[in-house]
A and B are shown apart, each in its own frame.
Chain A
Amino acid sequence: MSTTLWIIIAASIATYLTRIGGHLVISRFDHIHPRVEAGLNAVPAAVLTTLVAPAALSAGPAEWAALIVAGLVSLRGGLMAMFLAGAAVLILARQFVG
């Protein structure tokens, strides 16, 4: 078997371990401490923010405009509406400011 194939197999096992690992650790405890539960409730906002913040910081005016409009739309509309609004602003703004 080629090295590439071994890399792919090892990478897929490593990735599956991260996807099931947190559950395997947590499920060993019968009782979840309130503080741990508070931490788990914070997971979505905590992780997803790290996928936006550095990207936003190193972007330009077109991207910022798109994020602001998308953020505003998300206060009222659903996920699809905010996504389409953000994408539309981004494509338009890039025609002008590059």
Chain B
Amino acid sequence: MSAEAISENSVKSDFWDGVRLSMPVVVASAPFALLFGALAVDNGFSVLEAFLMSATVFGGASQMVGIELFGQHVAPWLIVLSIFAVNFRHVLYSAGIGRRIAHWPLMQQAIGYFVLTDPQFAVAERKAEAGETVGFTWYMGLGLPVYLFWVIESTLGAIFGKLIPDTRALGIDFLLPIYFLGLVMSFRKRPLWLPVVVASATASIIAYKTVGSPWHVSIGALAGVLLAVILPPRHSGVEARP
């Protein structure tokens, strides 16, 4: 086998490695994609508009908030601002993942940031933590199925929305919190994991009860990150460099 064939094979296996990791995400987000499509049409979107929003925004929770406000005839700028608020946590993801993908060509980075969702960030961080390089092929193997299924399923939801059965009995409204808990647990070997989780959980619950959603996400996250910044570096496992 020539060297070229070997490297082509490893690119292929990188891609499929990413696809394999995307499967729980595809399963967990499917109900929300269908639900988004159904709700969008219910709130006055056309099927084409529901499709466009999923294809260009690609952020489940923010899309739900957006169409909810749209249905209540809230001012357009306020809808956009709310979507921005729900998605604000990505600023932290973006700052974190930049260290892992800085070696990619600029165009690939631009595409990579477009598909930077919660699971995309968490799974890529896990790979980096294991000491492996986060390559573009692997990253897109992870992100592409999630994106394609999200767009296709929201469109299907928009077309066939009325046919969705009782989602509660099937438990699909609570699948994402379960998946996110798994991701939180997978970082438990990191320094300061427990203090950060406790700080974020406490702050997000207090903010949820007082300020309200969606700000509890940014406020809770900031509390955990600030704790890690404030604690002396010897606790956080990051050596002070001369």
Contact = CB atoms under 8 A, between A and B. Distances in A.
A82 B231 CA distance: 32
Interface of B: 21, 23-24, 27-28, 44-46, 49, 52-53, 56-59, 62, 66, 70, 76, 79-80, 83-84, 87-99, 102, 110, 113-114, 116, 118, 121-122, 125, 168-171, 174-187, 190-193, 196-197, 199-201, 203-205, 208, 213, 216-217, 220-231, 233, 236-241
A5 B84 contact: no
Closest 7 CB pairs of A and B: A46-B224, A22-B95, A22-B94, A38-B236, A50-B220, A42-B228, A12-B56
A39 B226 contact: yes
Would you call the interface of chain A mostly helix, strand, loop, or mixed?
A: helix
A35 B210 CA distance: 30
Given A42-B228, A79-B24, A80-B23, 11 more contacts: A3-B76, A8-B49, A11-B56, A18-B94, A41-B237, A45-B200, A46-B196, A50-B221, A74-B181, A82-B185, A83-B182
Contact of A45 (B97, B110, B187): B187
B241 A34 contact: yes
A43 B222 CA distance: 9
B87 A22 contact: no
Contacts of B102: 27
A5 B45 CA distance: 10
A86 B56 CA distance: 31
29 contacts: A7-B76, A8-B53, A11-B80, A11-B83, A16-B113, A19-B113, A22-B94, A22-B98, A25-B95, A34-B240, A35-B233, A38-B191, A38-B229, A42-B224, A42-B225, A43-B95, A44-B121, A44-B184, A46-B222, A46-B225, A48-B180, A49-B201, A50-B203, A79-B179, A79-B183, A80-B24, A82-B182, A86-B178, A94-B169
A27 B94 CA distance: 11
Contact of A23 (B95, B200, B201): B95
A71 to B, nearest CB: 6
A97 interface: no
A4 B213 CA distance: 23
B82 to A, nearest CB: 9
Contacts of B193: 45
Would you call the interface of chain B mostly helix, strand, loop, or mixed?
A: helix
B91 A87 contact: no
Contacts of A14: 80, 83-84, 87
* Residue from A3, A14, A49, A80 having most chain B Cβ neighbours under 10 A: A49
Given A70-B182, A71-B185, A49 B121 contact: no
A14 B119 CA distance: 20
A66 B174 CA distance: 9
B174 A55 contact: yes
Contacts of B99: 32, 40
Contacts of B182: 70, 74, 79, 82-83, 86
B24 A54 contact: no
